């Protein structure tokens, strides 16, 4: 007997007036959010290109046509050795800090994800104590000074190389990997280090990229620890230099600002903000595809 093929017809649901009204409200709200985000960026961008001889209000400067823009602020920053040295110091802190943090966080998170680990609960308690109770600035500073790490770039990221929050997220991700993979690798003669390197890490690109981004943003934007531990000018990173420019401009002390040429102080501040954001802007598109997956999978059990 021949079977009759049943054709499935799709029925379009006609939106009601309430649905259309809801969509309009959502569209208006999203446009408002877009304006809130874009307007400060556009204001900062036009401010960074504002010429010295500009006469007008702040709002008029936001609508200054591009053919009247000036790149004097960017030329002053990129042509100044102090800015280039500070930028390079920030790059070194970023790269070394992320590598060091991942090297320390990954083994700790993997160890806490092993079910039959001896003393797992006790180790977890020791990991959570610094997260709950902050020891304060003075004990940490005395420790850094005792270790001889002052005026070393490593003092910026070593005290926070292991974040409890990031470690817990990564541990939850590792716990989501089927235990059968570990058992089969163990039967084949692999030890825990080989299991971590050959089995776990290839399956954990999403969480590694996500946690690396967390660490990178924190190290790149940090100015408090460099202000405490780095007292020499040639070691100061970019956030410290930007802070000095802002303080000098706010207190009408243009010693720091005049070192960057004849560009307006406000334009120099705006241009430095854009230049300091370049590494994160470049890195984020490559990490974005891992970001959502790593965050969601790592926080399911957390």
Q: Quick one: pLDDT at residue 296?
A: 53
Reported residue count of the chain is 302
Q: Quick one: pLDDT at residue 221?
A: 86
CA distance 12 to 58: 51
Determine the average pLDDT of the residues in 59-85. Answer: 79
Q: Lowest-pLDDT range, 149-158, 167-176, 236-245?
A: 236-245
CA distance 253 to 261: 15
Determine the average pLDDT of the residues in 61-78. Answer: 79
Q: Quick one: pLDDT at residue 301?
A: 47
Q: What percent of the chain has pLDDT over 70?
A: 85
CA distance 267 to 260: 11
Break the chain into its structural domains and give their ranges: 18-70, 75-299
CATH code for 75-299? 1.10.3720.10
Q: Quick one: pLDDT at residue 298?
A: 47
Q: Lowest-pLDDT range, 140-144, 161-165, 167-171, 176-180?
A: 176-180
Cβ neighbour number for residue 72 with a 10 Å cutoff: 21
Q: Quick one: pLDDT at residue 5?
A: 53
Angle at Cα 246 formed by Cα 80 and Cα 41, nearest 5°?
90
Determine the average pLDDT of the residues in 163-180. Answer: 86
Supply the pTM of this predicted model: 0.77
Q: Quick one: pLDDT at residue 293?
A: 58
Tokens representing residue 166 in the block: 């990031």
SS (H, E, C) the chain: CCCCCCCCCCCCCCCCHHHHHHHHHHHHHHHHHHHHHHHHHHHHHHHHCCCCCCCCCHHHHHCCCHHHCCCHHHHHHHCCHHHHHHHHHHHHHHHHHHHHHHHHHHHHHHHHHCCCCCCHHHHHHHHHHHHHCCCCHHHHHHHHHHCCCCCCCHHHHHHHCCCHHHHHHHHHHHHCCCHHHHHHHHHCCCCHHHHHHHHHHHHCHHHHHHHHHHHHHHHHHCCHHHHHHCCCHHHCCHHHHHHHHHHHHHCCCCHHHHCCCCCCHHHHHHHHHHHHCHHHHHHHHHHHHHHHHHHHHHHCCC
Query: What is the tens place of the pLDDT at every residue in 286-300?
Result: 777 666 555 555 444
Query: What is the tens place of the pLDDT at every residue in 19-31?
Result: 788 889 999 999 9
Determine the average pLDDT of the residues in 39-68. Answer: 79
Q: What percent of the chain has pLDDT over 90?
A: 9
Query: What is the tens place of the pLDDT at every residue in 242-281?
Result: 777 767 655 554 445 555 556 677 787 788 888 888 777 7
Query: What is the tens place of the pLDDT at every residue in 105-161?
Result: 999 998 888 887 788 888 888 888 888 887 788 888 888 889 888 899 888 998 888
Quick one: CA torsion of 34, 37, 38, 39, rounded to 10 degrees?
110
């Amino acid at each position: 007997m021949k079977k009759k093929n049943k054709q499935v017809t799709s029925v379009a649901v006609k939106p009601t007036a309430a649905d259309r009204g809801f969509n309009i409200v959502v569209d208006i709200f999203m446009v408002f959010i877009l304006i809130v985000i874009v307007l400060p960026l556009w204001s900062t961008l036009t401010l960074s290109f504002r010429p010295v001889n500009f006469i007008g209000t702040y709002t008029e400067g936001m609508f200054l046509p591009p053919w009247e823009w000036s790149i004097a602020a960017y030329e002053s920053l990129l042509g100044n050795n102090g800015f280039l040295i500070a930028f390079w110091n920030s790059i070194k802190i970023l790269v070394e800090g992320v590598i060091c943090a991942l090297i320390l966080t990954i083994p700790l998170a993997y160890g806490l994800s092993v079910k039959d680990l001896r003393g797992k609960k006790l180790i977890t308690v020791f990991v959570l104590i610094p997260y709950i109770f902050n020891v304060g600035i003075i004990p940490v500073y005395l420790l850094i000074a005792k270790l001889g790490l002052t005026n070393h770039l490593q003092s910026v990221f070593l005290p926070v190389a292991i974040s409890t929050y990031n470690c817990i997220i990564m541990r939850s991700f590792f716990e989501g990997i089927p235990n059968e993979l570990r058992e089969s690798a163990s039967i084949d003669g692999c030890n825990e280090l080989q299991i971590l390197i050959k089995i776990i890490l290839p399956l954990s690109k999403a969480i590694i990229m996500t946690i690396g981004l967390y660490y990178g943003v924190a190290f790149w934007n940090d100015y408090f620890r460099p202000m405490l531990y780095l007292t020499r000018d040639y070691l100061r990173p970019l956030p410290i230099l930007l802070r000095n420019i802002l303080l000098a401009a706010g207190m009408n002390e243009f010693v720091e600002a005049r070192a960057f040429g004849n560009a307006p102080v406000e334009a120099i501040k705006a241009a430095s903000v854009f230049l300091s954001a370049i590494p994160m802007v470049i890195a984020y598109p490559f990490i974005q595809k891992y970001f959502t997956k790593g965050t969601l999978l790592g926080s399911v059990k957390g």
